Amino acid sequence: METVITTAVILAMIALGILLIHLLNAQHGQRIAAFRYSEVLPGRGRRSRKPRRPTGGAAGRHDGDRG
């Protein structure tokens, strides 16, 4: 008789765990659906970047066929 009760308690705890995980997963899914990834945060606009210009060194030059 004790084995039956122990088995019933274990199965009930497993079912309760499954229910809890399911509810938390659904809540997390709702939070993800409500979050807007594409909006810019207020006061945080995109910075305008200046184009990089090569310095006067030889690293930026290409001589081509003039070897």
Instruction: Tell me how far apart the 2 most distant CA atoms of the chain are, in Å.
Output: 96
40: left (phi over 0), alpha (psi -120 to 50) or beta: beta
- The confidence score (pLDDT) of residue 36 equals 73
pLDDT tens for each residue of 11-55: 999 999 999 999 999 999 888 888 777 666 666 655 666 667 767
Map out the domains of the chain as residue ranges: 1-31
Q: Give residue for tokens 């310095």.
A: 55
